[in-house]
Amino acid sequence: MGILSSGVGVGIFVYIPAIQYLINRIGWRMAYRVMAFLIPSVVIILTVMFMKKPSRMTSSAPKEQETRHTMMRDPSIVDLKWTSRSWTLRQAMLTKQFWSLGICFFFGSLLGNSVLTHHVAFFVDKGLESLFVSYIVGMIGIVSIGGRILWGILSDRIGREVTYTLAMVCCICGIVLLITFPVLSSTYDPYVYAIVFGMGYSGVVVLPSLITADFFEGRAYGSIFGTIFLLYSVGGAFGTWFCGFLYDRMGSYTPFFIIAVACALFACFNIWIAAPRKIRMVPGKKALRFNRNSTS
Protein backbone atom coordinates (compact mmCIF):
# COMPACT_ATOMS: atom_id res chain seq x y z
CA MET A 1 0.00 0.00 0.00
CA GLY A 2 2.89 2.35 0.74
CA ILE A 3 4.43 1.74 -2.68
CA LEU A 4 1.09 2.05 -4.48
CA SER A 5 0.12 5.31 -2.77
CA SER A 6 3.54 6.84 -3.45
CA GLY A 7 2.19 7.72 -6.90
CA VAL A 8 0.29 10.57 -5.23
CA GLY A 9 3.61 12.03 -4.10
CA VAL A 10 4.93 11.86 -7.65
CA GLY A 11 1.83 13.73 -8.80
CA ILE A 12 2.34 16.47 -6.21
CA PHE A 13 6.00 16.80 -7.16
CA VAL A 14 5.31 17.06 -10.90
CA TYR A 15 2.00 18.89 -11.16
CA ILE A 16 2.02 21.55 -8.42
CA PRO A 17 5.05 23.49 -9.79
CA ALA A 18 3.85 22.90 -13.36
CA ILE A 19 0.38 24.26 -12.59
CA GLN A 20 1.81 27.26 -10.76
CA TYR A 21 4.02 27.94 -13.80
CA LEU A 22 0.95 27.77 -16.04
CA ILE A 23 -0.94 30.15 -13.76
CA ASN A 24 1.92 32.65 -13.92
CA ARG A 25 2.14 32.42 -17.73
CA ILE A 26 -1.47 32.05 -18.92
CA GLY A 27 -3.64 32.81 -15.85
CA TRP A 28 -5.58 30.53 -13.55
CA ARG A 29 -8.65 30.31 -15.84
CA MET A 30 -6.68 28.93 -18.76
CA ALA A 31 -4.65 26.72 -16.41
CA TYR A 32 -7.91 25.17 -15.20
CA ARG A 33 -8.93 24.48 -18.80
CA VAL A 34 -5.62 22.72 -19.47
CA MET A 35 -6.09 20.62 -16.30
CA ALA A 36 -9.70 19.82 -17.26
CA PHE A 37 -8.47 18.34 -20.53
CA LEU A 38 -5.16 16.79 -19.46
CA ILE A 39 -6.02 15.01 -16.21
CA PRO A 40 -9.10 13.06 -17.40
CA SER A 41 -7.30 12.16 -20.63
CA VAL A 42 -4.32 10.68 -18.77
CA VAL A 43 -6.57 8.76 -16.35
CA ILE A 44 -8.71 7.31 -19.14
CA ILE A 45 -5.70 6.27 -21.22
CA LEU A 46 -4.00 4.57 -18.26
CA THR A 47 -7.25 2.82 -17.28
CA VAL A 48 -7.71 1.42 -20.78
CA MET A 49 -4.07 0.31 -20.94
CA PHE A 50 -3.79 -1.40 -17.56
CA MET A 51 -7.27 -2.42 -16.44
CA LYS A 52 -7.72 -6.19 -16.60
CA LYS A 53 -10.96 -8.06 -17.09
CA PRO A 54 -12.42 -9.31 -13.80
CA SER A 55 -11.91 -13.00 -13.13
CA ARG A 56 -14.85 -15.38 -13.28
CA MET A 57 -16.92 -15.61 -10.13
CA THR A 58 -16.64 -18.93 -8.33
CA SER A 59 -18.41 -20.33 -5.34
CA SER A 60 -17.19 -18.49 -2.25
CA ALA A 61 -18.43 -20.98 0.38
CA PRO A 62 -15.42 -23.33 0.24
CA LYS A 63 -13.04 -20.35 0.22
CA GLU A 64 -14.73 -18.83 3.27
CA GLN A 65 -14.50 -22.14 5.12
CA GLU A 66 -10.83 -22.46 4.17
CA THR A 67 -10.22 -18.87 5.36
CA ARG A 68 -11.70 -19.65 8.77
CA HIS A 69 -9.45 -22.70 9.17
CA THR A 70 -6.45 -20.60 8.14
CA MET A 71 -7.36 -17.96 10.74
CA MET A 72 -7.46 -20.59 13.46
CA ARG A 73 -3.89 -21.60 12.59
CA ASP A 74 -2.59 -18.04 12.07
CA PRO A 75 -0.33 -17.03 14.99
CA SER A 76 -0.84 -13.33 14.19
CA ILE A 77 -4.46 -13.49 15.32
CA VAL A 78 -4.96 -12.07 18.80
CA ASP A 79 -8.77 -12.02 18.91
CA LEU A 80 -9.98 -15.12 17.06
CA LYS A 81 -13.64 -14.40 17.76
CA TRP A 82 -13.35 -10.97 16.11
CA THR A 83 -11.35 -12.03 13.04
CA SER A 84 -13.45 -15.14 12.32
CA ARG A 85 -16.59 -13.03 12.09
CA SER A 86 -17.93 -12.23 8.62
CA TRP A 87 -18.38 -8.49 9.06
CA THR A 88 -21.08 -6.45 7.35
CA LEU A 89 -21.20 -2.67 7.27
CA ARG A 90 -24.14 -2.60 9.68
CA GLN A 91 -22.39 -4.86 12.18
CA ALA A 92 -19.16 -2.85 11.94
CA MET A 93 -21.00 0.40 12.61
CA LEU A 94 -22.26 -1.01 15.92
CA THR A 95 -18.72 -1.40 17.25
CA LYS A 96 -16.69 1.09 19.27
CA GLN A 97 -13.66 0.39 17.07
CA PHE A 98 -15.43 1.56 13.90
CA TRP A 99 -16.24 4.96 15.38
CA SER A 100 -12.85 5.32 17.04
CA LEU A 101 -11.23 4.83 13.63
CA GLY A 102 -13.71 7.23 12.02
CA ILE A 103 -13.00 9.95 14.58
CA CYS A 104 -9.25 9.38 14.28
CA PHE A 105 -9.25 9.65 10.50
CA PHE A 106 -11.67 12.62 10.59
CA PHE A 107 -9.31 14.72 12.70
CA GLY A 108 -6.20 13.46 10.90
CA SER A 109 -7.65 14.54 7.58
CA LEU A 110 -8.90 17.81 9.08
CA LEU A 111 -5.40 18.93 9.98
CA GLY A 112 -3.64 17.42 6.95
CA ASN A 113 -5.84 18.71 4.15
CA SER A 114 -6.42 22.13 5.71
CA VAL A 115 -2.69 22.78 6.12
CA LEU A 116 -1.96 21.51 2.60
CA THR A 117 -4.65 23.78 1.19
CA HIS A 118 -3.67 26.95 3.06
CA HIS A 119 0.11 26.73 3.44
CA VAL A 120 0.67 28.33 0.02
CA ALA A 121 -1.42 31.36 1.00
CA PHE A 122 0.35 31.41 4.38
CA PHE A 123 3.84 31.59 2.87
CA VAL A 124 2.80 34.10 0.19
CA ASP A 125 1.30 36.30 2.92
CA LYS A 126 4.68 36.18 4.65
CA GLY A 127 6.42 37.54 1.55
CA LEU A 128 7.57 34.43 -0.35
CA GLU A 129 7.14 34.21 -4.13
CA SER A 130 4.26 31.97 -5.26
CA LEU A 131 6.46 30.01 -7.69
CA PHE A 132 9.03 29.36 -4.93
CA VAL A 133 6.22 28.19 -2.63
CA SER A 134 5.05 25.80 -5.33
CA TYR A 135 8.53 24.24 -5.26
CA ILE A 136 8.15 23.81 -1.50
CA VAL A 137 4.86 22.00 -2.14
CA GLY A 138 6.60 19.88 -4.78
CA MET A 139 9.25 19.07 -2.20
CA ILE A 140 6.49 17.78 0.07
CA GLY A 141 5.50 15.50 -2.81
CA ILE A 142 9.05 14.16 -3.09
CA VAL A 143 9.25 13.53 0.65
CA SER A 144 5.85 11.84 0.71
CA ILE A 145 6.98 9.32 -1.94
CA GLY A 146 9.52 7.85 0.46
CA GLY A 147 7.34 8.62 3.47
CA ARG A 148 4.41 6.50 2.31
CA ILE A 149 6.69 3.53 1.67
CA LEU A 150 8.52 4.05 4.97
CA TRP A 151 5.36 4.28 7.08
CA GLY A 152 3.88 1.23 5.35
CA ILE A 153 6.99 -0.85 6.06
CA LEU A 154 7.36 0.54 9.58
CA SER A 155 3.74 -0.20 10.46
CA ASP A 156 4.35 -3.85 9.50
CA ARG A 157 7.32 -3.92 11.87
CA ILE A 158 6.39 -1.96 15.00
CA GLY A 159 2.58 -1.77 14.82
CA ARG A 160 -0.09 0.57 13.51
CA GLU A 161 -0.65 2.70 16.61
CA VAL A 162 3.02 3.53 17.14
CA THR A 163 3.53 4.31 13.46
CA TYR A 164 0.44 6.53 13.24
CA THR A 165 1.55 8.38 16.37
CA LEU A 166 5.02 8.99 14.90
CA ALA A 167 3.42 10.34 11.72
CA MET A 168 1.30 12.71 13.79
CA VAL A 169 4.37 13.87 15.70
CA CYS A 170 5.91 14.84 12.35
CA CYS A 171 2.73 16.75 11.45
CA ILE A 172 2.82 18.59 14.77
CA CYS A 173 6.49 19.54 14.24
CA GLY A 174 5.63 20.90 10.79
CA ILE A 175 2.73 22.96 12.18
CA VAL A 176 4.96 24.33 14.95
CA LEU A 177 7.40 25.48 12.26
CA LEU A 178 4.55 27.36 10.56
CA ILE A 179 3.57 28.99 13.86
CA THR A 180 7.14 30.13 14.56
CA PHE A 181 7.98 31.14 10.97
CA PRO A 182 6.78 34.79 11.29
CA VAL A 183 8.98 35.18 14.38
CA LEU A 184 12.11 33.33 13.24
CA SER A 185 11.86 34.15 9.50
CA SER A 186 14.59 31.62 8.81
CA THR A 187 15.51 30.87 5.20
CA TYR A 188 15.60 27.17 5.98
CA ASP A 189 12.21 26.94 7.71
CA PRO A 190 10.16 26.25 4.53
CA TYR A 191 12.53 23.42 3.54
CA VAL A 192 12.48 21.84 7.01
CA TYR A 193 8.71 22.24 7.08
CA ALA A 194 8.39 20.48 3.71
CA ILE A 195 10.45 17.52 4.95
CA VAL A 196 8.79 17.15 8.35
CA PHE A 197 5.19 17.81 7.35
CA GLY A 198 5.57 15.83 4.13
CA MET A 199 6.65 12.82 6.18
CA GLY A 200 3.76 13.24 8.61
CA TYR A 201 1.07 13.78 6.00
CA SER A 202 2.17 10.73 4.01
CA GLY A 203 1.53 8.58 7.09
CA VAL A 204 -1.90 10.10 7.64
CA VAL A 205 -2.82 9.15 4.06
CA VAL A 206 -1.38 5.64 3.75
CA LEU A 207 -2.20 4.11 7.14
CA PRO A 208 -6.04 4.31 7.30
CA SER A 209 -6.59 1.52 4.75
CA LEU A 210 -4.10 -0.75 6.54
CA ILE A 211 -5.57 -0.10 9.99
CA THR A 212 -9.15 -0.63 8.79
CA ALA A 213 -8.14 -3.94 7.16
CA ASP A 214 -6.74 -5.15 10.49
CA PHE A 215 -10.25 -4.85 11.94
CA PHE A 216 -12.66 -5.56 9.10
CA GLU A 217 -10.84 -7.70 6.55
CA GLY A 218 -13.29 -9.68 4.44
CA ARG A 219 -15.96 -9.49 1.77
CA ALA A 220 -17.52 -6.26 3.09
CA TYR A 221 -14.21 -4.45 3.58
CA GLY A 222 -14.85 -2.16 0.61
CA SER A 223 -18.12 -0.79 1.96
CA ILE A 224 -16.76 -0.54 5.52
CA PHE A 225 -13.61 1.31 4.50
CA GLY A 226 -15.59 3.45 2.08
CA THR A 227 -17.86 4.58 4.91
CA ILE A 228 -14.93 5.30 7.23
CA PHE A 229 -13.16 7.13 4.40
CA LEU A 230 -16.30 9.25 4.00
CA LEU A 231 -15.61 10.55 7.53
CA TYR A 232 -12.00 11.15 6.45
CA SER A 233 -13.21 13.20 3.47
CA VAL A 234 -15.71 15.18 5.55
CA GLY A 235 -12.92 16.04 7.99
CA GLY A 236 -10.71 17.31 5.18
CA ALA A 237 -13.51 19.37 3.64
CA PHE A 238 -14.56 20.88 6.98
CA GLY A 239 -10.97 21.63 8.03
CA THR A 240 -10.21 23.39 4.75
CA TRP A 241 -13.28 25.62 5.12
CA PHE A 242 -12.84 26.20 8.87
CA CYS A 243 -9.20 27.25 8.44
CA GLY A 244 -10.22 29.90 5.88
CA PHE A 245 -13.16 30.97 8.06
CA LEU A 246 -10.92 31.56 11.08
CA TYR A 247 -8.37 33.45 8.98
CA ASP A 248 -11.06 35.76 7.58
CA ARG A 249 -12.32 36.50 11.09
CA MET A 250 -9.00 36.78 12.94
CA GLY A 251 -6.51 37.77 10.23
CA SER A 252 -4.06 35.05 11.23
CA TYR A 253 -3.54 31.33 10.64
CA THR A 254 -2.03 30.81 14.09
CA PRO A 255 -5.33 30.08 15.92
CA PHE A 256 -6.17 27.32 13.46
CA PHE A 257 -2.65 25.89 13.62
CA ILE A 258 -3.04 25.57 17.38
CA ILE A 259 -6.38 23.80 16.86
CA ALA A 260 -4.68 21.52 14.31
CA VAL A 261 -2.13 20.44 16.93
CA ALA A 262 -5.02 19.55 19.27
CA CYS A 263 -6.64 17.57 16.41
CA ALA A 264 -3.43 15.58 15.94
CA LEU A 265 -3.32 14.67 19.62
CA PHE A 266 -7.01 13.68 19.61
CA ALA A 267 -6.48 11.52 16.51
CA CYS A 268 -3.61 9.70 18.25
CA PHE A 269 -5.79 9.18 21.33
CA ASN A 270 -8.50 7.51 19.25
CA ILE A 271 -6.15 5.17 17.38
CA TRP A 272 -4.89 3.86 20.72
CA ILE A 273 -8.51 3.49 21.91
CA ALA A 274 -9.34 1.47 18.78
CA ALA A 275 -6.21 -0.68 19.42
CA PRO A 276 -5.61 -2.75 16.25
CA ARG A 277 -2.85 -4.54 18.20
CA LYS A 278 -5.61 -6.29 20.18
CA ILE A 279 -7.09 -7.79 17.00
CA ARG A 280 -4.06 -9.04 15.09
CA MET A 281 -0.31 -8.64 15.24
CA VAL A 282 1.64 -7.11 12.38
CA PRO A 283 4.26 -9.37 10.71
CA GLY A 284 7.14 -7.85 12.68
CA LYS A 285 5.43 -8.44 16.03
CA LYS A 286 4.43 -11.95 15.00
CA ALA A 287 8.02 -12.81 14.04
CA LEU A 288 9.25 -11.39 17.35
CA ARG A 289 6.83 -13.54 19.32
CA PHE A 290 7.75 -16.60 17.25
CA ASN A 291 11.46 -16.02 17.92
CA ARG A 292 10.83 -15.64 21.64
CA ASN A 293 8.81 -18.84 21.75
CA SER A 294 11.49 -20.69 19.80
CA THR A 295 14.18 -19.46 22.21
CA SER A 296 12.21 -20.45 25.28
Q: What is the pLDDT along the chain (296 residues), one digit of tens a residue?
A: 777 776 776 777 777 778 878 888 888 899 889 889 988 898 888 888 887 665 555 554 455 555 554 545 566 777 788 888 888 999 999 999 999 999 999 999 999 999 988 988 898 888 888 778 878 888 888 888 888 889 989 999 999 999 999 999 999 999 999 999 888 777 788 889 999 999 998 888 889 988 998 899 888 899 999 999 999 999 999 999 999 999 999 999 999 999 999 999 999 999 999 999 888 888 776 655 555 555 55
Element at 233 (helix H, strand E): helix 221-250
Which domain range does residue 16 map to? 7-50
pLDDT at 84: 83
Residue 204 forms part of a structural domain: yes
pLDDT at 293: 54
pLDDT at 1: 75
pLDDT at 176: 94
Whether the pTM exceeds 0.85: the reply is no
Residue 245 forms part of a structural domain: yes
Q: CA 35 to CA 20: how far, in whole Å?
A: 12
Q: Are residues 44 and 87 in the same domain?
A: no
Residue 249 forms part of a structural domain: yes
Q: Are residues 104 and 173 in the same domain?
A: yes
pLDDT at 56: 57
The domain total for the chain is 2
CA nearest 171: which of 246, 114, 212? Answer: 114
Q: Are residues 150 and 257 in the same domain?
A: yes
pLDDT at 54: 59
Q: Are residues 138 and 196 in the same domain?
A: yes
Q: CA 71 to CA 19: how far, in whole Å?
A: 49
- List Cα–Cα distances, 218 to 59, 89, 94, 197, in angstroms: 15, 11, 17, 33
Based on its alpha-carbon atoms, the radius of gyration of the chain, rounded to whole angstroms, reads 21
